[in-house]
């Protein structure tokens, strides 16, 4: 009898424990408020989400950084910063969208790629107005415009920009008997008047003289450089999808697509899908000789090739006029429990001094004119790139940018599908350019 009773007692305890467990598990999400805290004396935890390499964290072998978290925590002893780094901006984007949509789980500061800014600018109410916090910061006009709503609210603090040069393997070019010194290559591509025609002409020569080696890494990567020079590429400024029509920008997209796929099929492309394992692994092989080089991409080349790898260099030239690829903003979602502290941190991170520190340690080029003029930036020489004066080169490259492409809400989806179209021709080699173009038009129709 007694034993039965104890057993029953045990069972009841187990049941209660199970219920209690479920209850606490459900209540767990409410904890944020408690450890966030609003009082200035409390310990404040600021959660930051970035991707790729923003250069904010402590430096490692793969990822150079300016160790800014430590610095800020020293300045503000009550603040603790936790950074979550996604490998690619797409990974961060999916999580971010969910958090904003559901109204919970967003980071206190979210780094945002320019390509997904349109979806943020469409719902500015969900983000903190940073105007009052960034009084000490300055940015290039177009950088500020990209994060300012029509009624003057600033939702994003600019971090870096992505002015593009041409990175090249001087050893491979020398072996093929082509100009291998950065000034000679600049001249060969046409200097200030460099065109895509000349770029692909030189590519054809390289393929021939090197015995069939590829000239560039990936069609989709090169197309990023081309499309960022078109003012209205896939979407017109009044919000119409113009892909495949005779609008000026759409015709330019088609012309670029034809030129690029023709070059790829002639053996100029290494046929690597951008950001794939093969792509990453190819930077310390002799698979290809050149790649388009926005400032932040040098971090990737270094990380993939290895700091000790010799051969990579950068030329102060870009076909078809200047180009800006990427560059980011920091936004603070309204749902953040510590939005005031987060806004202060975002303002500090994007201030000129910190932009200088990031460019000195990593390669993300400042969006602030003050930072660009700083001797530490203007005079920076990169040992990995054969002592190239990167500070001066990117200053010239940024000055050469004349077009600010308009990216409407659908731009991201359409551009992704176009990268697929290029990859079908260049990477999987399953379709001809004409077939792939037609399928792209169908894909675009399916998006509507």
Partner 1 sequence: MTASPVAPDKTTQSPPPPRDEAYERKLLSRGRRGRFDVKVSPYLYISPFFLLFLVTGLFPLIYTAWIATRQWNTSTGDAGWAICGKLCDSTDPSWLGNFQWVLHQPDFWLALRNSFSIFLLSTIPQIICALILAAILDANLKAKTFWRMGVLLPYVIAPSAAGIIFSQVFSDNFGVINTILDGIGLEPVQWHASQLASHVAIATIVNFRWTGYNTLILLAAMQAIPRDVFEAAVVDGAGRVRQFLSVTIPMLRPTLIFVIITSTIGGLQIFDEPQMFGNTGTPGGPDKHYLTVSLYLWDLGFNRTTIGQPNLGRAAAVAWLLFIIVVVIAILNFLITRRIASTSGAPTKKKKSAKKELAR
Q: Would you tell me which residues interact with partner 1 (CB under 8 A)?
A: 11-12, 14-15, 18-19, 21-22, 26, 88, 90, 93-94, 97-98, 100-101, 118-119, 122-123, 220, 272-279, 281-282, 287, 409-410, 412-413, 416-417, 419-424, 427-431, 445-448
Residue (140 or 427) nearer to partner 1, CB:
427
Residue (148 or 439) nearer to partner 1, CB:
439
Angle in degrees, 0-180, between the axes of helices 411-426 and 248-263, rounded to the nearest 10: 20
- Backbone phi, psi, residue 269, to 5°: -100, 145
Q: How far is the CB of 32 from partner 1 (least distance, A)?
A: 20
Contacts of residue 19, Cβ cutoff 8 Å, sequence gap at least 6: none
Q: How far is the CB of 279 from partner 1 (least distance, A)?
A: 7
> Could you tell me which residues are beta bridge partners of residue 329?
112, 158
Q: How far is the CB of 423 from partner 1 (least distance, A)?
A: 4
Residue (208 or 428) nearer to partner 1, CB:
428
Length of the chain: 448
Contacts of residue 173, Cβ cutoff 8 Å, sequence gap at least 6: 179, 180, 185, 206, 289
Residue (21 or 33) nearer to partner 1, CB:
21
Q: How far is the CB of 262 from partner 1 (least distance, A)?
A: 18
Residue (231 or 420) nearer to partner 1, CB:
420
Question: Rounded to an integer, what distance in angstroms lies between the CA atom of residue 289 and that of residue 169?
Answer: 5
> Could you tell me which residues are beta bridge partners of residue 226?
none
Residue (166 or 421) nearer to partner 1, CB:
421
Q: How far is the CB of 13 from partner 1 (least distance, A)?
A: 11
Q: What is the DSSP letter of 258?
A: H
Q: How far is the CB of 316 from partner 1 (least distance, A)?
A: 30
* Pairing mode, strands 328-331 and 44-51: unpaired
User: What secondary structure does DSSP assign to 181-226, as a single string?
Assistant: SHHHHHHHTTGGG--HHHHHHHHHHHHHHTTS-EEES-HHHHHHHH
Write out the two tokens for 400.
């050469």
Residue (83 or 426) nearer to partner 1, CB:
426
Question: Rounded to an integer, what distance in angstroms lies between the CA atom of residue 384 and that of residue 381?
Answer: 9
Question: Rounded to an integer, what distance in angstroms lies between the CA atom of residue 231 and that of residue 247?
Answer: 11
Q: How far is the CB of 414 from partner 1 (least distance, A)?
A: 9
């Amino acid at each position: 009898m007694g034993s039965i009773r104890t057993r029953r007692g045990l069972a009841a305890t187990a049941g209660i424990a199970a219920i209690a467990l479920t209850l606490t598990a459900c209540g767990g999400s409410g904890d944020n408020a408690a450890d966030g805290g609003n009082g200035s004396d409390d310990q404040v935890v600021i959660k930051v989400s970035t991707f790729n390499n923003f250069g904010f964290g402590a430096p490692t072998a793969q990822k150079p950084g300016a160790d800014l978290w430590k610095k800020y925590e020293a300045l503000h002893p009550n603040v603790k910063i936790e950074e979550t780094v996604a490998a690619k901006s797409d990974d961060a984007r999916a999580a971010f969208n969910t958090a904003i949509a559901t109204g919970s789980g967003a980071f206190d500061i979210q780094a945002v790629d320019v390509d997904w800014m349109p979806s943020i600018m469409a719902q500015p109410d969900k983000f903190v107005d940073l105007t009052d916090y960034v009084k000490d910061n300055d940015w290039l006009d177009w950088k500020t415009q990209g994060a300012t709503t029509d009624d003057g609210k600033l939702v994003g603090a600019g971090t870096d920009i992505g002015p593009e040069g041409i990175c090249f393997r001087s050893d491979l070019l020398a072996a093929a008997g082509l100009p291998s010194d950065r000034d000679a290559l600049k001249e060969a591509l046409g200097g200030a008047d460099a065109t895509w025609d000349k770029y692909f002409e030189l590519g054809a020569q390289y393929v021939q003289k090197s015995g069939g080696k590829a000239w560039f890494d990936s069609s989709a990567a090169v197309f990023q450089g081309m499309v960022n020079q078109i003012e209205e590429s896939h979407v017109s400024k009044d919000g119409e999808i113009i892909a495949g029509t005779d609008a000026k920008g759409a015709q330019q997209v088609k012309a670029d697509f034809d030129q690029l796929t023709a070059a790829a099929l002639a053996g100029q492309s290494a046929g690597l899908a951008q950001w794939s394992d093969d792509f990453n692994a190819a930077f310390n092989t002799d698979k290809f000789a050149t790649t388009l080089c926005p400032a932040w991409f040098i971090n990737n080349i270094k990380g993939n090739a290895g700091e000790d790898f010799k051969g990579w260099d950068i030329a102060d030239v870009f076909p078809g006029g200047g180009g800006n690829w990427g560059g980011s903003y920091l936004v603070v979602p309204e749902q953040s429990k510590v939005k005031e502290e987060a806004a202060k941190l975002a303002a500090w991170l994007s201030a000129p001094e910190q932009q200088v520190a990031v460019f000195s340690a990593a390669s993300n080029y400042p969006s602030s004119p003050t930072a660009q003029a700083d001797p530490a930036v203007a005079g920076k020489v990169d040992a990995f790139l054969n002592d190239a004066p990167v500070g001066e080169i990117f200053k010239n490259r940024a000055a050469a940018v004349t077009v600010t492409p308009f990216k409407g809400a659908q731009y991201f989806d359409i551009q992704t599908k176009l990268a697929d179209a290029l990859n079908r021709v260049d990477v999987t080699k399953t379709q001809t350019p004409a077939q792939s173009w037609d399928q792209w038009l169908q894909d675009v129709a399916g998006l509507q």
